[in-house]
Structure 1
């Protein structure tokens, strides 16, 4: 059963804050916390006796549970040794019947010391629970084990399930984490089936993996898309290398450890929890384009008027969308056996036409203790299936809102006289019917995840604190895609075909085996040791095949009779298959954490790891870390500072690797080279090498040091931490040119180049107000990151990226080379306009030249899309049975390249006028006089700073025990997601993709509707 407290013992970790009020808010947190320490009001608590009712079995007893600040809601009260018990209601009260006079009550609550109280002749019992400082300081999950938070010496951020946002309408759990973890950036285009890019503490590679390692229930390599939010117990983020080094080659970009719920001791009673969410999506702030009448009134170009009225953006919207989510969990347990199982079903309809998904699945987590506690077994079985009706990233397989902006508004997407019902025209590459393209295409994608896992722990009792844990895991991921284009589809009409069918299948299998000894021992004199040593094995295999055929006489069968297309008999159909290169990792590792009186702490980690991706002579690497901590608050000289609850200084250094690149970089691969006629007249392919294997290829290696300070004041009423880090990546992978001969191919992957990044993170949270009826908890985080390329593979070498879309193709807006800052734009510098409205630019000597005379060498590094500060601010208010949550984020001090006026706002640039125009460009003095060809210059750079209200949630909770015996608790809540964005930016959306080294553009060619979500949620516990 989910517990709730007026004290709110589970503290949210992060939040957002207004840039202008940064120091003011922090000061207010200190002042309000100090003032509120004495603000507890208990005068209204009725602790009077109740009339007892005695029967043959026992009597009725009223128990009122509180702490230093007031009553505790949801505390467990049970008659020891029986199943007779319940939880306290919203007055901190519980009534138990049939209680014998010789009974002992056991009262417990998360974050407090369990208390046992004899009943005797009492009928009304007042119990005050004391805070358990060890529990309040939390147990956090670290690599291959857990530790008390007070003993952690590296940078770790922990979230409880209650810290995650509810009802925000995301397709995976990442949407519920926005603004919750300092230094964590997530990018998603908002489509229902879009993937999410995750980046922690900035960029860690150019050509290798850049996302954190996901570890689910101790199994590395998890897929965050396969997780259900309601099944998650906690999330722990290992940020620095000293924390992640034990994961070796996969920890260069950080580690996210996710723990799912498991069963508890329910004294044999079955606990049932059911939750549901009903959601509606709304598009707001769509780009303002000219209406049909406004388009007809244009005089700057010779427009083509088709005599109709169309709003292409509006035609692409699914206004009747409705989403639902249902989750059912069952929990049953005794001291030696606990089971948690859950089932879920959800439909998520997007704001765009034919952009939806349907998910269902289930999970079984169990814990068993055998042989008098010698053996513990935790089996886990997880299954999820997702059916998709669009691709979230492929322009040809998702609703095309880019073209909705371009299209002529005087031409309708519909034609009632056509057999298809749509107005399909061909021969115009810059104007075509995107509504018909979407509706006349069938896209059925199916994702499947199946993960059976088991963890076995042998407690070696003769040696106190020693155990051996063995994990075995198997994961099967499958992807099926079925596609069909109608004979009326534009591509089929253009190519004179009668339908296209495609079937594709991909399968990936992962095997994991981990075995490690753990020794946890507290010795006399305040010495404490937590040590781990073991091995890790991981293997992945994959395969795929697909087929395509065209020209079908019967369209209704679609892809389910693919052999009937005439292209197969004509020899024009396509078919392919492939098997992925087997990848294996094997490692030996050890970690030791030592603390003395929880005052002085030191931690050391080493991992020796080998990867099949490298040549035998260069396959192994060593990754290590060393960190220490000093609890200053435990020193004698701090005794007079009684308002300082905890103050700990941390310092860590670690080395991790990155082998997250394609295995083909080091594989001796062959492919067909040429088609030759043999002497007998037959034709045959010749095969030759397609790669230049580099036997010296090795890991990208990240070395990072981190200094941090953890603090808690006023008896944990104010808490937080500060971290400063600096990292350097060596041996970066680049595909460089090599001579032919001796190499058969012109390029080879080599470890060349260095990159560095640095940054800081600050977190502060506080229980600002804490009274009997009202509490206010606020959490805020700030972070900053910057990076630089130190060297590449030679003087003058560089890589261009961030290519702008057609037509016009103005070039690429990013370049990395020696000394280049990550996030900087590499563009021309604007110098003004000539009398005809044409662009003037600066050349490399600083002279003003016409844009027509520019060269690539005239480009400069201008601006940067990495924010100076990322912020999150989360607030929770509780008044009696009501709760209000407000979650906000802010990015401050960064540049956005606004491509909307560049592509859709320059009058006269669109030839015959077949493109529509962005209306603000006609009304904005910055753009309404431009007549020349668009230029890739800083004229279109703007400050993108914004404050976003991610979610507002209002809830009401009610104890049901006073009304019925079979239900415990009911909670109803409503959430508005993506409430508003406050910004001075003039473009469409300032929240651009800031991950990687080539982004920061508000893209016309990759725009999607901004979606606001309205959600009604219900949670019931039985």
Structure 2
């Protein structure tokens, strides 16, 4: 009996030893299509160290390990569901991973932290960095946001290389001051538009008070949080992205021939009862027949000044990886933006609109101990921008707005671009119509150099030894921005024929006449245009812990930011922040946020404020009555928030109660100081610009939001938000009565407004058995606002007051077609504006019925410069390595006031007309005319008033971007090219636009004062090693 018992124990021991022994296992990790997953993590469950109990799959997706025969394999890869596989003595594995499209959305970046998506009760939307890279070759973050997220409205103003600008609005306008959101890069307020999109991991948009209250006086206009990429514990991964872009203007500019314009000029003279200065039939015929291109020029300025295509290039190389001690992400980027104008590099200077930029970023994470993590971010942006010498660098130059406007408003007949001997033409009698080719190429250049550098240090210390879930975080950041400018001046002689006699005798006249030779170049001193330093530091205690069915978290944070420009007094911002969240049984959610923040822009007694918010949420899909009765619902959550935040955007600092400015008045001026006898010579003295108001402070926004999130069928996702906002204390300038003894205006918090709207986002995502993966996302957003109070004068007619009207409402004249006849004209009220009214002129309505058309007949119009309705449609298809994506965007309710230089003929004494002039009113075209009868500029004041006629609907539908590409199979890329990824693509931006707006101007831009908007065509590659 004893021997049998001993034998049984011996056999059991052998089984135990065999089970505890390690065995050699091998296998492959594959994706859904059977392609190897390179860099997947395979390790023993509950192992503490990847280096001893795990590995990373190689280029074939293979792995080899020595693990206990009774252990469990854990396989993970970003974007795929984690798998746990018992070994059970098996030595060979083939592991097929399943994509988890929701995994990357599980964590949402919020103010001063992150939260699980399922527990977020604020209105927050988030985009991945990869989405910003598939926007058709745009180089700025703001432009890449267009149409991507609900509630975010972008309006591009310019495509000038290095100076492109896009306005961002979150949920429309709530103030007539600034409405720009706060944008933070890794928690620090920095210039964001020049951040390389290849560096961005995610971008979060915070919209309601629950999400923005922690930002205090800076959160009312919404907050955008940009999070850059960081390294992971893996072998080095190298990515290289590059593209080449061809670009051209989105608008189309053509005008009638000069012969047509001469005929219309004669018509305008007759309409004004004048026959002096009319063109003869012989003169018209000379231009019509193009007898001589130098004395009878006909210049196509679009052809002469614009290239068929401009060119740009971008490239980025980044490396990431790490081990248990250190993780790293390093990125180097280069951007070159070329010109669409025919500017050419000269021997002594470069006048081209060019922009060259270098981006550098390195993010390091050090695990100093098991409880201590140190992060260091280093980076910088160095750029050089060039532009023609005549663009706004000195008092003698055109302003930037004037420069571009003149490109569109220069007549085509005054002089040739250049004569047969190469001399450039220009007529000094038309100072408002200069040869713009000379301005682009022959008058020097402006050079702007800029360098932005930064360094961040962040410490994360776990304090579990005090209580589990407690940690301390602190950070210090320094940012330095320097900008210098240099101007190279150059002038050349211009020539013209003053008369037909000069032309016949081939006598050129040079002007300016005092010039006897071409002036050499001269250099203006290099000036430090901007020098800005920013110091930021914060410290916080964080707590996050679960107690059974109860989950709690808390944050206490204090921060301070100081910004100093040149030798000015610094701006200082400070804030103390608190947040607490509670969740019961993963279904009932509660959150509280608060901050005490302030900035030294205001009087010390009124420069801080308390802001609070609260939010509740209910994950209904976790209730049994949903699970049992509606099993197709994957997730359903309702949430509500209320709270306050502030804004001082768009207004100047009031840190000094009195703005003291130097003034000088001479004896012949309007004002002069007398102290007994007149001062001679007059000396400089000082005056105050207005009255002080120590009670002024920032605007306060009171917001409410209710939202619903719904996922169904594992394919459909819906999000709906309805919001309201009451904006109080809007800063406004108020005129002071003369009896107050104050000359000027006082700044007061006298304004109020209200805003409301809704947002809807729906996504359908599916993958068929054949491997076809497709998705479609629709976004629809509507917003409206009203002025509640804005200090309207008591004597102003009620219908002209701001109160009750949308922000930015324009008062304009109502039109009732054209005067159809002399009887019609005389039977209507007379116009107050001088000019010779005739049949065919605009007929205005006498709104106040006083018998006169004047300024009191201007009434509020619906014309808004920003759309109240925006929508987008995003489509995507992937199949066997091919992919196709596209985005359509649409706006409605946006109007533009047509620039006078593009609407009215014969400006500045010339004979320039437009295509719409051909459809003018005449007795023969009275039934079909769309444009008033012709007048010379000085005789057209009646028609030129701001009215329904001058405003045009600028709503549009646009194919914003599209991309078609092919990704080589991983095995093929590795075998043939030694790469882990090789993707080739073609893409475009602003490809098609459908609008009723004037085709000479991009409807999104709405002006000729800035560099034109461009469409882009790209070819690029994305590769990995």
TM-score normalised by structure 1 residue count: 0.80
For the pair 1:513 / 2:537, whether they are aligned, the reply is yes
Does the 8 A contact of 1:594 with 1:602 survive in 2? yes
State the match for 1:561 in structure 2: none
Q: CA offsets per residue over residues 847-906 of structure 1, 9 Å max, x none?
A: 8x7xxx5211101122333545210111110011111111110113x2534627x65455
Question: Quick one: which of 16, 30, 39 aligns to 1:65?
Answer: 30
Matches within 5 A, 1:823-834: 823-834=808-819
Does the 8 A contact of 2:55 with 2:65 survive in 1? no
Q: 1:948 to 1:155 in 2, by over 3 A?
A: same
Does the 8 A contact of 2:29 with 2:40 survive in 1? no
Structure exhibiting the larger radius of gyration computed from Cα positions:
2
| Shift in Å, 1:198 | 1.2
Distance in 2, Cα, partners of 1:137 & 1:272: 24
Distance in 2, Cα, partners of 1:604 & 1:79: 40
For the pair 1:608 / 2:604, whether they are aligned, the reply is no
Matches within 5 A, 1:431-510: 431-439=433-441, 440-462=443-465, 463-488=467-492, 501=524, 503-504=526-527, 505-510=529-534
State the match for 2:955 in structure 1: 945
Distance in 1, Cα, partners of 2:982 & 2:579: 45
Does the 8 A contact of 2:817 with 2:842 survive in 1? yes
| Shift in Å, 1:487 | 2.7
State the match for 1:198 in structure 2: 168
Q: 1:641 to 1:691 in 2, by over 3 A?
A: same
- Could you say what secondary structure the match of 1:322 adopts? strand
State the match for 2:762 in structure 1: 764
Does the 8 A contact of 2:754 with 2:788 survive in 1? yes
Q: 1:911 to 1:235 in 2, by over 3 A?
A: closer
| Shift in Å, 1:931 | 2.5
Matches within 5 A, 1:121-136: 125-129=93-97, 135=103
State the match for 1:748 in structure 2: 746
State the match for 2:432 in structure 1: 430
Distance in 2, Cα, partners of 1:643 & 1:816: 53
| Shift in Å, 1:178 | 1.0
Q: 1:351 to 1:602 in 2, by over 3 A?
A: same
Does the 8 A contact of 1:739 with 1:746 survive in 2? no
Does the 8 A contact of 1:905 with 1:921 survive in 2? no
Question: Quick one: which of 83, 86, 108 aligns to 2:76?
Answer: 108
State the match for 1:286 in structure 2: 252
Does the 8 A contact of 1:390 with 1:398 survive in 2? no
Which region of structure 1 is more displaced relative to structure 2, 250-259 or 95-104?
A: 95-104
| Shift in Å, 1:365 | 0.5
Q: 1:628 to 1:111 in 2, by over 3 A?
A: farther
Distance in 1, Cα, partners of 2:337 & 2:868: 35
State the match for 1:697 in structure 2: 696
Distance in 2, Cα, partners of 1:984 & 1:632: 46
Which region of structure 1 is more displaced relative to structure 2, 694-703 or 954-963?
A: 954-963
Distance in 2, Cα, partners of 1:824 & 1:665: 31
Does the 8 A contact of 1:345 with 1:360 survive in 2? yes
| Shift in Å, 1:428 | 1.9
State the match for 1:27 in structure 2: none
For the pair 1:922 / 2:919, whether they are aligned, the reply is yes
Distance in 1, Cα, partners of 2:252 & 2:617: 51
Which region of structure 1 is more displaced relative to structure 2, 779-788 or 352-361?
A: 352-361
Q: 1:104 to 1:293 in 2, by over 3 A?
A: farther
Distance in 2, Cα, partners of 1:393 & 1:516: 48
State the match for 2:652 in structure 1: 662
Matches within 5 A, 1:635-654: 635-639=623-627, 640-654=629-643
Distance in 1, Cα, partners of 2:960 & 2:116: 32
- Could you say what secondary structure the match of 1:752 adopts? strand
Which region of structure 1 is more displaced relative to structure 2, 527-536 or 275-284?
A: 275-284
Q: 1:987 to 1:682 in 2, by over 3 A?
A: closer
Q: 1:186 to 1:968 in 2, by over 3 A?
A: same
Q: CA offsets per residue over residues 551-607 of structure 1, 9 Å max, x none?
A: xxxxxxxxxxxxxxxxxxxxxxxxxxxx33321112211001111112110111111
Distance in 1, Cα, partners of 2:402 & 2:386: 10
- Could you say what secondary structure the match of 1:377 adopts? strand
| Shift in Å, 1:132 | 6.9
Which region of structure 1 is more displaced relative to structure 2, 965-974 or 303-312?
A: 303-312
Question: Quick one: which of 540, 545, 550 aligns to 2:563?
Answer: 540
Distance in 1, Cα, partners of 2:973 & 2:92: 18
| Shift in Å, 1:477 | 1.4
Distance in 1, Cα, partners of 2:51 & 2:890: 52
- Could you say what secondary structure the match of 1:609 adopts? strand
Which region of structure 1 is more displaced relative to structure 2, 658-667 or 944-953?
A: 658-667
Does the 8 A contact of 1:666 with 1:694 survive in 2? no
Distance in 2, Cα, partners of 1:724 & 1:167: 28
Question: Quick one: which of 641, 662, 665 aligns to 1:672?
Answer: 662
| Shift in Å, 1:949 | 0.5
Distance in 2, Cα, partners of 1:272 & 1:77: 18
TM-score normalised by structure 2 residue count: 0.80
State the match for 1:330 in structure 2: 319
Distance in 2, Cα, partners of 1:98 & 1:531: 42
Distance in 2, Cα, partners of 1:820 & 1:469: 47
For the pair 1:358 / 2:356, whether they are aligned, the reply is yes
State the match for 2:238 in structure 1: 272
For the pair 1:217 / 2:186, whether they are aligned, the reply is yes
State the match for 1:300 in structure 2: 267
Distance in 2, Cα, partners of 1:446 & 1:649: 51
State the match for 1:76 in structure 2: 40
Distance in 1, Cα, partners of 2:639 & 2:391: 42
Distance in 1, Cα, partners of 2:379 & 2:576: 28
Q: 1:748 to 1:666 in 2, by over 3 A?
A: farther
Which region of structure 1 is more displaced relative to structure 2, 723-732 or 277-286?
A: 277-286
Does the 8 A contact of 1:406 with 1:916 survive in 2? no
- Could you say what secondary structure the match of 2:210 adopts? helix
State the match for 1:998 in structure 2: none
State the match for 2:6 in structure 1: none
Does the 8 A contact of 1:143 with 1:243 survive in 2? yes
State the match for 1:382 in structure 2: 379
State the match for 2:336 in structure 1: 347
State the match for 1:805 in structure 2: none
| Shift in Å, 1:239 | 0.7
- Could you say what secondary structure the match of 1:963 adopts? helix
Q: CA offsets per residue over residues 599-631 of structure 1, 9 Å max, x none?
A: 110111111123211112212210110111011
Q: 1:957 to 1:186 in 2, by over 3 A?
A: same
Q: 1:134 to 1:831 in 2, by over 3 A?
A: closer
Distance in 1, Cα, partners of 2:337 & 2:75: 42
Which region of structure 1 is more displaced relative to structure 2, 510-519 or 685-694?
A: 685-694
State the match for 1:967 in structure 2: 979
- Could you say what secondary structure the match of 1:150 adopts? helix
Q: 1:169 to 1:129 in 2, by over 3 A?
A: closer
Matches within 5 A, 1:31-42: none
State the match for 1:11 in structure 2: none
Q: CA offsets per residue over residues 637-685 of structure 1, 9 Å max, x none?
A: 1122010011111100110011233224644443334589999999864
Give RMSD over aligned pairs: 3.6
Does the 8 A contact of 1:906 with 1:930 survive in 2? no
Distance in 2, Cα, partners of 1:521 & 1:797: 62
Does the 8 A contact of 1:310 with 1:410 survive in 2? yes
Does the 8 A contact of 1:873 with 1:888 survive in 2? yes
| Shift in Å, 1:66 | 4.9
Q: CA offsets per residue over residues 687-735 of structure 1, 9 Å max, x none?
A: 45445331111121110100111111112x1112100111011111111
Unaligned runs of 5+ in 1: 1-56, 544-578, 801-813, 994-1001
Unaligned runs of 5+ in 2: 1-21, 45-49, 269-277, 288-294, 344-351, 393-397, 496-509, 666-672, 822-838
Distance in 2, Cα, partners of 1:938 & 1:682: 52
Does the 8 A contact of 2:617 with 2:640 survive in 1? yes
- Could you say what secondary structure the match of 1:310 adopts? coil
Q: 1:506 to 1:230 in 2, by over 3 A?
A: same
Matches within 5 A, 1:905-920: 910=907, 913-918=910-915
Distance in 1, Cα, partners of 2:550 & 2:460: 25
Does the 8 A contact of 2:40 with 2:76 survive in 1? yes
Q: How many correspondences in the alignment?
A: 890
Q: 1:423 to 1:327 in 2, by over 3 A?
A: same
